[in-house]
Structure 1
């Protein structure tokens, strides 16, 4: 039997409407849904390859338990036996050391995301993590809430297109971030929006832009302050909007008076006249959208960098206007995460909460543990032991800084459980590996774009692979065995609860697939912004009360040519570690032949001047070294990068290696990064961009490598 049904692709955290064809219980075809308001029929190569992923012979299909005394050996067990034993061992750790001794980990932006948080609260542990929380998106959401009273997203779906799009540390034509589909942005550019790109690379999106500001990594705040200075000094801001709907303008103006383009140029490497031109165009072309990405957050000045851009956006007055930046309409009710079930004394035990108040404290958007502190507790038992970790869709060995320390941390646990689609390096270390359902096998309702939820989609469960189960089902089964609060509530009731404010029931949404209600613009004109002052807070009294600077400022990265000239003598280039490819999502899908053929090897982008200086030709294998380690990637020589910058792919491991764990060490960007202080004082963010590195020609990595590489960077 063959049937086709509407769904929404969740292969990443995007939200492309999809038409899924199922035949005899197998997904056989996925294409874009032309009636979807998000993607209008477009779909990326990952989504189109969904059948190959869903039916891949290496998919995990049944629960497995590590055999006692046989390292790397597995035995097949039933769901009943696996869940019973996991629950028993979780309860034993909880009873012996307290719930805080059990941590939960997960990947970014998937269907089970909030259900993991719900599980943590019900279990009584304050310690859950996701690698992006301090490094990606949450600083933007938190700052938006503090500054505007809500998150904003570009209006690409109405009758009025943006006149200007300022892309800052964001490459949405590849990354499709936060449910904002890159095709909508491409269509806006096609309709005449002027693009301005701020990024060390002239990436795929930047090539569509009229201006490219190829700044030095980690100097974004200085550039933003200089643009604010130009707009204020030349009176190019929206004076009426600023006077009526912002507070703190005079303080901001005085604060940036000396942050001129001439001041910023030697810091950022961007010419003063280019800074002025970018500021003038962004201020003049309205409505304007500012698309910001992870490039602004992966440094130890994350809070104030994001704050600088939030203030810049506010000056041009394109908030909640057609073609500008939409405030959320709050279509759905917040997910019932059972936050009220976490006792106050347990919340105070959250690792890092007292120090990093916007990551784990009471003002945090999604209070979570500080990852370096959490993993250190696994290794050292300080400030208290963490002995159990349950992971849902996160490959920590490839996606958390300081991969060697991550491995040592995981090996110190009494219990490691991983729910995954495929065997990964992290799963290879587990006591139990559970087969997770893929997106066509999962039912969910979700609001898009993320954090605004102006559209509501239904994703149906259309097929099932082997004994694979949704992570929500696994969590609910464990919750019932542990006798946790609200554990008898069916997942369907959770979805219905979320939908109640829309007036559309779950059955109706199942039939129609997507709920799109008209957007109401300029909502702030009725009751103001949802901030204490009811205005946009350029001067943040909330941050001041928390002990953080109320006005944004630039701080030089701790490891950079300016702050560490001694180190720069041996490591002369500036490294960024977050480059993405269309074919992959973080560390996923390298075993999928149809995707891997398009991107067979990890890639390091470098400027022709660097290549000549180091004797490197395009396509050569090269060694990239930092003071922490050394990896190998293929050189891609391009003039479309800041000449002092090297950009490497993120998330690489090699499923074709003798074991998944063996494949984690050849090209793992996180062998080069550090999770050591200093950290951003509010979020605990560590430095992933702007690190110092050096290069040298190298031989191709051997297929039989089975352990960590030589960690002496002096050999590179």
Structure 2
């Protein structure tokens, strides 16, 4: 009889950490089930996590290092050893550093998985200030930065106390289908079952909107106007929390004056939402205690995203829902991340960070994640100004799909001297690299984590169950490269990094005074009580210059920006570009989430792909009739930047003046093509990386663009048959 064991661990197939019980028989993973004892997910996992075995043993996984032997993008590869791969990478890093300076090497990653902090630490160790990922200006970090300048921290919904949120304002998110971190999706569902009232702001009638007490079908790109209009109602009807505002808010009178510019009639005209619904939503949120804001990345995809998110963040503040049970709470940072700030770099190097001069809050108000500005980096790659960027190291970054304006991204990457890619699978972007390195999946990693959607009062340990082929963890790769370069990564092993993180827990909580990494793995989770109203303790106040919630931001004023939120029409819209709208009459919305895919991931997975085999564009039946389109037809979606094709899904849950297309699409099954069909259905072919950019965060426009649609008479399902 062989050995069978069940290992308690956590899934990190997204940003979250749902508990998992993994059965291993004779060294082979045979079963994954949810862990009912997990304080995070309480016996639930999503389809992506449950497909972990398929991911682990997928035949298309990258199995060993490879080097390019043909022309860039030609798809000709040769297997090499890890030593040979490291030699190529180290030689190219030295060449770039000696010829141009280390700042001419950029480092990019994809979403913020376990490797996020390690990538930034690697960049800092090398000495380059040019680290970036799509999320720094487009997803999550604008919320982090606005939270910091307003509250001193990123606020999150309290799903953890015995007090259920009385009202949840879901804005630009669809947690019934896919949480920002999957465990928050489950917590949200629990709250609704327990009776939370639900206000949903979304251009689409999503699964979450279907459960709403009130659905506000907003025109894409006008969220800033709606937030200001809701505050107009709350303030003018004196529904705000006078005690909290008086004692703990700064700049209320200035905010009161600002919202007078946004009467409900004007906001209704801008947003396409009926006046009575705006008033009803404002009253429901303001008169229900506790209330909280569940905000998603959809509001971070326009060039006024910073002030948009700022306006949204002020609604819980003026209604007194800050840091109370069931409200909008402060994370505790139970498990601090590894050191990722710019302190390792000289002041001279810090000032070389692309975007440092123009986008002061791109790095976060507390300089949490000092990212470079992606359009500025790409411009330097093309033009050599303000200085050349000639190399790019990619970590889990499928940039031809993840970055805006995919064709220009492709042209930019093709002109570089060196590209390396660390990936699970060969992707369209990896095909452009000089060296490709195989990395570990979540079942092959030792990791520890504490995240904001957990209220940061829970930390988890993830265990390496098995290792397949020659894959390595990203952080192991970084340590190895730094050793070969003679650079001090700050640790010789991953365990040393973990122990440095646990030191903060040992120091703060006596019950964990003897906690080391081995004991943490045995426990799988540690949990401490949430501390509410921390601002009241020892007259601490809020971590802002005034010690209060800054409705009027002194930080923004000091940087020369408007200290109060305001509305700005999207730069490409029926109103700002009416001539363009004559040719492209529909508003293009992108980015809706899927329960089966994470951005461009998982389309190789048969168990997931069978539920969503083709990319879908949502079209209102009236619009479809006008263009001669039937449900299930293949349709062209065209913007001023390019054209793609997706399959029509007719729905009355979208405004007839707009369409919504899915993101992240490529076709891994098209193995006879080195681009894997990236030019066929990829929504970022339609988007723009051109100015204007958000003046605080550098964000560019990914939604609320203009497009036209027409029937694709050539395409059929057979042409896109995934074989599933």
Alpha carbons 1:151, 1:451 under 8 Å: kept:
no
Please, which of 671, 684, 707 is the counterpart of residue 685 of structure 2? 671
Gaps of 5+ in 1: 707-716
In the alignment, what sits opposite 2:432? 429
In the alignment, what sits opposite 2:512? none
Alpha carbons 1:606, 1:645 under 8 Å: kept:
yes
The 10-residue stretch of structure 1 (270-279 or 563-572) with the greater mean CA deviation from structure 2 = 563-572
In the alignment, what sits opposite 2:630? 617
Please, which of 409, 412, 421 is the counterpart of residue 406 of structure 1? 409
Distance 1:261 1:112 in 2: 45
The 3 A distance-change label for structure 1 pair 703 and 375 is: farther
Give the deviation of 1:662 after TM superposition: 3.7
Aligned length: 706
Give the deviation of 1:157 after TM superposition: 1.6
In the alignment, what sits opposite 2:131? 128
Distance 2:287 2:588 in 1: 34
Please, which of 8, 26, 29 is the counterpart of residue 27 of structure 1? 29
1:448-482 Cα offsets, whole Å, 9 max, x none, are 23595221000011110100100001111111111
Alpha carbons 2:145, 2:364 under 8 Å: kept:
no
Give the deviation of 1:331 after TM superposition: 1.1
In the alignment, what sits opposite 1:85? 88
In the alignment, what sits opposite 2:566? 553
1:314-354 Cα offsets, whole Å, 9 max, x none, are 01111111111121122123422263221111111111110
In the alignment, what sits opposite 1:236? 239
Distance 2:29 2:159 in 1: 31
Q: Is 1:254 aligned with 2:257?
A: yes
- SS of aligned partner of 1:605: strand
Give the deviation of 1:701 after TM superposition: 4.2
Q: Is 1:680 aligned with 2:680?
A: no
In the alignment, what sits opposite 1:581? 594
Alpha carbons 2:341, 2:367 under 8 Å: kept:
no
1:382-417 Cα offsets, whole Å, 9 max, x none, are 221111111000100011001011111111111110
- SS of aligned partner of 2:564: coil
Give the deviation of 1:700 after TM superposition: 5.3
Distance 1:602 1:382 in 2: 38
The 10-residue stretch of structure 1 (455-464 or 657-666) with the greater mean CA deviation from structure 2 = 657-666
Distance 2:432 2:717 in 1: 21
The 3 A distance-change label for structure 1 pair 640 and 704 is: closer
Gaps of 5+ in 2: 507-514
1:86-136 Cα offsets, whole Å, 9 max, x none, are 112111111111001101010111111100000111111011110111001
Q: Is 1:455 aligned with 2:466?
A: no
Distance 2:718 2:267 in 1: 49
Q: Is 1:565 aligned with 2:575?
A: no
Q: Is 1:444 aligned with 2:447?
A: yes
Alpha carbons 2:173, 2:296 under 8 Å: kept:
yes
Distance 1:659 1:432 in 2: 19
In the alignment, what sits opposite 1:374? 377
Alpha carbons 1:297, 1:306 under 8 Å: kept:
yes
Distance 2:617 2:166 in 1: 34
The 3 A distance-change label for structure 1 pair 600 and 176 is: same
Alpha carbons 1:179, 1:450 under 8 Å: kept:
no
The 10-residue stretch of structure 1 (87-96 or 324-333) with the greater mean CA deviation from structure 2 = 324-333
Q: Is 1:288 aligned with 2:291?
A: yes
TM-score by length of 1: 0.96
Alignment of 1:5-24 (within 5 A): 5-24=7-26
Alpha carbons 2:476, 2:493 under 8 Å: kept:
no
Give the deviation of 1:528 after TM superposition: 1.1
Alpha carbons 1:105, 1:130 under 8 Å: kept:
yes
The 3 A distance-change label for structure 1 pair 207 and 702 is: closer
Please, which of 618, 634, 648 is the counterpart of residue 635 of structure 1? 648
Alignment of 1:173-212 (within 5 A): 173-178=176-181, 180-212=183-215
Distance 1:361 1:99 in 2: 23
In the alignment, what sits opposite 2:707? 693
1:670-707 Cα offsets, whole Å, 9 max, x none, are 1101100011011110011110111111035489999x
Alignment of 1:327-366 (within 5 A): 327-337=330-340, 339-360=342-363, 364-366=367-369
Q: Is 1:55 aligned with 2:87?
A: no
Q: Is 1:276 aligned with 2:246?
A: no
In the alignment, what sits opposite 2:473? 470
In the alignment, what sits opposite 1:709? none
- SS of aligned partner of 1:224: helix
Distance 2:254 2:83 in 1: 62
Alpha carbons 2:316, 2:328 under 8 Å: kept:
no
In the alignment, what sits opposite 2:551? 538
Alpha carbons 2:340, 2:368 under 8 Å: kept:
no
